[in-house]
Each structure stands twice: as C-alpha cells, then as structure tokens.
Structure 1
C-alpha cells in the first residue's frame, strides 16, 4: 500500500478519516470501471484528495465489469472495502 496521501495528512485527518477517504476514492474508481469509462481517462484520479495509487486504479480495471446494477454496486462496495481493509491494516 502506498503512503498516506500528502493532502490528507496535511489537512490533519486522523488515520480512520484517511482510510475513509481512500474508500471513497476506491468507490469512485470502481464506479467509473463499472460505467465503462476508459482506463486512460481515469488515471488523473491518482491526484484526487484521499487518492490511492496508479496501481490501485489499474487493479480496479482488472475486475470484471457487470451488466446489472446490483452486481455493479456489489463490485463497487467490494473494491471500496478491499482498499479500506488494506488501509486500516497498515495503520
């Protein structure tokens, strides 16, 4: 896992808040994946507040894209939880 984002730490967020931001970021990345947006258009997300890494963006695009809203939502939730779990474990 990458070091905690500089913007998050400079805004005096505690570790739990930082992991929450990472989770929110992961949900945005996977939502884009599930919506069929191209990977090349998502790489800018590594500069967002609470952002993860380029490798985490790439990993989201290694997950399958689903056609039903229920399965898309599940993929978003699972990816968010996966990244939050890593963040909390690395605190």
Structure 2
C-alpha cells in the first residue's frame, strides 16, 4: 500500500521541472491539497469510476499521476467515524507531501 502512495507521489513530483525552491514548495503544497481532496472523496465513498473520469480530464502529463494517486487512495480503507476519516485523510496527504518534498530536494 505504501508503495502505491509513493509511486503516485513520485509520478506527480517527476513533473517538476528544474526551478526555484519556492516553485517546488508551491508545487508540493498543491499536490498535498490534491491528495487531501482525493482522500476526502474516498472517505465519502465517491465512486472510483467517477474519480477516474475526473483524472481523465487532467491535461496530458498530469493524467497518469492523478490516476495513480486515486488508485493509491482507494487501496486504503474508508472509515465510518469522522475521527478516523480525518486521520486517514491527514495521513494520506502527508505521505504524498513527504514523497514530493523528498523528490524535489
């Protein structure tokens, strides 16, 4: 499971071109927000096919990494309590962020 999360993050982080640290940090922050949104959808039992259709609307290079992130999220459990949902959302987003920041180091 962790492999899928890292693969998703590395796929997205690989889109970063050489640039300033601020641009890289902003990119990772955006990836983190996206990861959070994907996991919120997962915790709300949004249909996986609908999520994949959303990923398919992404432009060129972002399509495959978005699909990887969605798959990684859906490989994790959905919880019934708000407390556990919040914990899972934070853990997923932080794992994606960590992998992104490591990649842009």
Range into which the TM-score falls when normalised by the shorter chain: 0.7 to 0.9
1:39 equivalenced with 2:32 (yes/no): no
In the alignment, what sits opposite 1:70? 83
Q: Which structure 1 residue ranges, 4+ long, deviate > 4 Å from structure 2?
A: none
SS at match of 1:53: helix
User: Is the Cα contact below 8 Å between 1:65 and 1:72 reproduced in 2?
Assistant: yes
So what's the TM-score if we normalise by structure 2?
0.71
- 1:9-24 to structure 2, matched below 5 A, reads 14-24=23-33
Please say which of residues 38-47 and 18-27 is displaced more in the overlay: 38-47
CA RMSD of aligned residues (A): 2.2
Aligned residue among 20, 26, 30 for 2:39: 30
Gaps of 5+ in 2: 1-9
Higher RCO (C-alpha 8 Å, min separation 6): 2
Distance, in Å, in 2 between the alignment partners of 1:69 and 1:5 is: 34
Following superposition, the deviation at residue 53 of structure 1 comes to 2.6
SS at match of 1:42: helix
SS at match of 1:36: coil
Higher helix share: 2
Following superposition, the deviation at residue 62 of structure 1 comes to 0.5
User: Is the Cα contact below 8 Å between 2:51 and 2:70 reproduced in 1?
Assistant: yes
